[in-house]
Amino acid sequence: LAKAAGTPLGMVAGQQFDLDGERCDFSIEKLEQIHRNKTGAMICFSARAGAIIGEVGREELAAISNFAEHLGLLFQITDDLLDITQTTEILGKTAGKDLTAKKATYPALYG
């Protein structure tokens, strides 16, 4: 958990990469780095922790880790899309704030 939350490749680093990426040009590689570290690190930890507690084998742990990394990326892509397609009332948070802050997002990169 500590590694997923606070190391140079964890949630805290991902959040810092996200803030540093505001109002800057960014590539798909940089965007994936942000999302894999930010949301993806915590989702991957959660899946791996359950697998470890369940005493899965090495191959199963690798497969679960791979799935969780992709799930984290999917979560963030979905969040980016919802930010521009839904209202504040539906989201329960301010809609459009990624665009206002000029954040590095999938819609900003791909349109």
Q: How far apart are CA 29 and CA 47, in angstroms?
A: 24
For the full predicted model, state whether its pTM sits above 0.85.
Answer: no
Which phi-psi region, left, alpha or beta, contains residue 92 (left: φ > 0; alpha: ψ -120 to 50)?
Answer: left
Q: Mean of the pLDDT values across residues 76-95?
A: 92
Integer Cα distance of 34 and 13 in angstroms = 8
Higher pLDDT, 57 or 26: 57
Predicted confidence band at 35 (pLDDT cuts at 50, 70, 90)? confident
- 16 falls in which pLDDT band (50, 70, 90)? low
Does residue 104 register a pLDDT over 80? yes
Of the two residues 110 and 2, the one the predictor is more confident about is 110
Tell me, what amino acid is at 53? I
DSSP element (H, E) containing 81 = helix 58-85
The residues near 104 (Cβ < 8 Å, ≥ 6 apart) are 18, 21, 22, 24, 26, 30, 31, 34
pLDDT, the chain, mean: 84
